[in-house]
Amino acid sequence: MQQTPKPTPITTERPAAEQFTWWQKGVIYEIYVRSFKDSNGDGIGDLSGIAEKLDYLRWMGVDAIWLTPFYPSPMKDFGYDISDYTAVDAMFGTIDDFDALVRETHQRNMKIILDVVPNHTSDQHPWFLESKSSRDNPKRDWYLWHDPSPDGGPPNNWLSVLGGTGWEWVEERGQYYHHAFLIEQPDLNLRNPEVMDAILEVFRFWLDRGVDGFRVDVMWHMIKDAQWRDNPPNPDFKTGMPTYDQFSPVYSTDQPKTHEVVARFRQLLDEYGDKVLIGEMYLPVEKVVRYYGAGNQGAHLPGNFQLLLIDWNARKIALEIDKYEGLLPENAWPNWVFSNHDRPRVATRYGKEQARVAAVLLLTLRGTPTIYYGDELGLQNVPIPEDEVKDPQGLLMPGLGLSRDPQRTPMQWNDAENAGFTTGEPWLRLSEKYAEENVEKQQQDPASILSLYHQLLELRRKEPALHIGAYTPVPAHGPVLAYIRSSGETRLMIVLNFSNETIEFTPERMEPKGTILLQTRNERKGEWINGNIQLQSNEGVVIKLD
Ligand code: NOJ
């Protein structure tokens, strides 16, 4: 007689600490390579410059560095237009410099993550030059070619994220190609197995050189509708919004087949052991979580950008955190991103004082945080005069405040000329405040925001409650955000004041008693809390509950 299979028991047990891996327990630091440290005086950051600063990063307490693209490129989109996936652009150094950087990073017990751009290449990539040359060359289907529409215009209404139409005419083929970004960034056809193999080779090349993972650029863009259907108009579009937002990109992005591509990338990474696959992901959280893949066989960390996009409001953020926690598939690991090279800096969005509260939030939430270089100094966007704008997004959509240059300005190391970033002429102007805001100065000041980051990272590393513990929201009102992180016997309560007023917080149904372990201005460490919690304006505390 056939036996009915027993249902899998539902387990509520949490995995033991040793079952968590480096990319779950650790903290990632994004380095915008052009702007971090110039070692040869050409005004552009480079790989050897990063190597010079590894000790700083180790001191600060990050576990992994993610490098933006440093591959050969015409630099139309500052390296996201790649003309050779498996080499180093001379302006950033040599492949030997890269190998040395991997070695030096690993010697300091840190990991190195590369940016990989499988959605598009540069129009100067040999693959594209061949593909555009005729309709019958071996790479003819490597990009997204299409005949014109009956009126001779572009095949459909897909737009470029960076402005204007998403199609470009090529005389040699008498066809258009699709580019989701610049004309100089033609989209690859990842439905073609040859293209897929070529991209997998790129992953292999860098994995064989010892890298620990990848951040996949525009992961949700990788596959487009096979019927090339028009995107529907966006009913919420208003003048002043980026032109791309005129249509909802339901056919040109986030296609079901994208998950197959992600799963294939993941499979390859798994062959190499404990590597991480991160996806860039500007999607509603309901869709983001699907990128973990069936049985968590997709991306390890589909980028959660909710806090990059919503208002800085304690109630909205509390809701967003709970929504995300509630949607996460079983055993999927959360992650948090507060700023990056494409969006205004945290201290610009929320102000200098709240940047400290944001630091405590980012580094005490459950899941892997990514810190954007310079946020640890409280850097703000640097206004760039119109005639100095370099970013193609700013140049193609002028007047909308969309240039990304202001958040990509050179790192501020000390008060020497050009903040110690370069001995030459920096490629982009620096903040005038660098004499005050720099690493050297803030390292010596226990009340600086850099010292706060340092202490937070130290505490996060020391306390399993913070790096692997559970998350429980604490009901609160108005400008207060409160939650508990716990592991074993340890319970840490985080209370953040999002306002510039003094507040008193009395949690419902509990009487917190305990000691302050950390405070945003480093003034209240060791203070005993008994029931009520008084918070100064813009203050955040981590309390160890008794
Ligand atoms: C996302 C990158 O972060 C951005 O800087 C770039 O312009 C686009 N992808 C295109 O690669």
Question: Measured from the CB, is residue 89 less than 6 Å from ligand 1?
Answer: no
Q: Please give the C-alpha separations between residue 369 and each of 2, 63, 219, 457, 540, in angstroms, as whole numbers.
A: 49, 11, 19, 11, 18
**Closest residue by CA, ligand 1 atom 3:** 342
Q: How far apart are CA 75 and CA 83, in angstroms?
A: 10
- Strand, coil or helix: what is 360? helix
Q: For the segment 455-505, what is each residue's pLDDT rounded down to a tens digit?
A: 999 999 999 999 999 999 999 999 999 999 999 999 999 999 999 999 999
Q: At 231, which helix (H) or strand (E)?
A: none
pLDDT band at 10 (very low <50, low <70, confident <90, very high): low
Mean pLDDT, residues 423-428: 98
Ligand 1 atom closest to Cα of 120?
11
Q: Which residue has the higher pLDDT, 233 or 509?
A: 233
Q: How many angstroms does the Cα of residue 186 sit away from the middle of ligand 1?
A: 13
State both tokens at 264: 């294939």
| Four-point Cα dihedral 48, 54, 55, 59, nearest 10 | 160
Q: How many angstroms does the Cα of residue 79 sit away from the middle of ligand 1?
A: 9
Q: How far apart are CA 238 and CA 240, in angstroms?
A: 6
Mean pLDDT, residues 39-59: 98
| Burial class, 529, CB count within 10 angstroms (exposed 0-12 / middle 13-18 / buried 19+) | buried
Task: Please state which architecture CATH assigns to domain 21-121+193-457.
Answer: Alpha-Beta Barrel (3.20)
Query: If we measure between CA atoms, which residue out of 24, 23, 56 comes closest to residue 37?
Result: 56
- Total Cβ atoms within 10 A of residue 521: 17
Share of the chain above pLDDT 70, in %: 97
Axis-axis angle for helices 352-364, 449-462 (nearest 10): 10
Please say whether the beta carbons of 341 and 372 come within 8 A: yes
Pocket test for ligand 1, best of 71, 181, 244, 337 (most atoms within 8 A of CB): 181
Q: How far apart are CA 475 and CA 477, in angstroms?
A: 7
Q: How many angstroms does the Cα of residue 269 sit away from the middle of ligand 1?
A: 23
Where are the domains positioned within the chain? 21-121+193-457
Q: How many angstroms does the Cα of residue 117 sit away from the middle of ligand 1?
A: 9
pLDDT recorded at residue 195? 98
Question: Measured from the CB, is residue 168 less than 6 Å from ligand 1?
Answer: no
pLDDT recorded at residue 11? 54
From the candidates 172, 201, 270, 271, give the one annotated as an active-site residue: 271
* β-strand partners of 178: 167
Question: Measured from the CB, is residue 176 less than 6 Å from ligand 1?
Answer: no
Instruction: Please name the amino acid found at residue 340.
Output: N
Q: Whole-prediction pTM value?
A: 0.96
Residues contacting residue 302 through CB under 8 Å, at least 6 positions apart: 219, 278, 279, 281, 288, 289, 290, 291, 292, 335
Q: For the segment 96-131, what is each residue's pLDDT rounded down to a tens digit?
A: 999 999 999 999 999 999 999 999 999 999 999 999
State both tokens at 270: 């798994």
Query: If we measure between CA atoms, which residue out of 500, 477, 480, 488 comes closest to residue 541?
Result: 480
Pocket test for ligand 1, best of 31, 75, 77 (most atoms within 8 A of CB): 77
**271 included as an active-site residue:** yes
Counting Cα atoms < 13 Å in the Cβ hemisphere of 409 gives: 25
Q: How far apart are CA 409 and CA 34, in angstroms?
A: 9
Q: For the segment 276-331, what is each residue's pLDDT rounded down to a tens digit?
A: 999 999 999 999 999 999 999 999 999 999 999 999 999 999 999 999 999 999 99
Secondary structure of 274-301 in HEC code, one letter for each residue? CCEEEECCCCCHHHHHHHHCHHHCCCCE
Residue 309 sits at the vertex; the CA angle it makes with 308 and 312, to the nearest 5 degrees, is: 80
Share of the chain above pLDDT 90, in %: 95
pLDDT band at 399 (very low <50, low <70, confident <90, very high): confident
Per-residue pLDDT for 1 more than 50?
A: no
Question: Measured from the CB, is residue 81 less than 6 Å from ligand 1?
Answer: no
**Closest residue by CA, ligand 1 atom 2:** 217
Q: How many angstroms does the Cα of residue 217 sit away from the middle of ligand 1?
A: 7
Question: Measured from the CB, is residue 453 less than 6 Å from ligand 1?
Answer: no
Please say whether the beta carbons of 482 and 496 come within 8 A: yes
Query: If we measure between CA atoms, which residue out of 340, 268, 253 comes closest to residue 298?
Result: 268
Please say whether the beta carbons of 60 and 452 come within 8 A: no
Per-residue pLDDT for 201 more than 60?
A: yes
Question: Measured from the CB, is residue 80 less than 6 Å from ligand 1?
Answer: yes
Q: How many angstroms does the Cα of residue 161 sit away from the middle of ligand 1?
A: 9
Q: For the segment 72-96, what is each residue's pLDDT rounded down to a tens digit?
A: 999 999 999 999 999 999 999 999 9
Q: Please give the C-alpha separations between residue 313 and each of 64, 141, 336, 341, 345, in angstroms, as whole numbers.
A: 30, 48, 17, 23, 17
Question: Measured from the CB, is residue 180 less than 6 Å from ligand 1?
Answer: no
**Closest residue by CA, ligand 1 atom 11:** 80
> Per mean pLDDT, which range of 2-6, 72-76, 525-529 is the poorest?
2-6
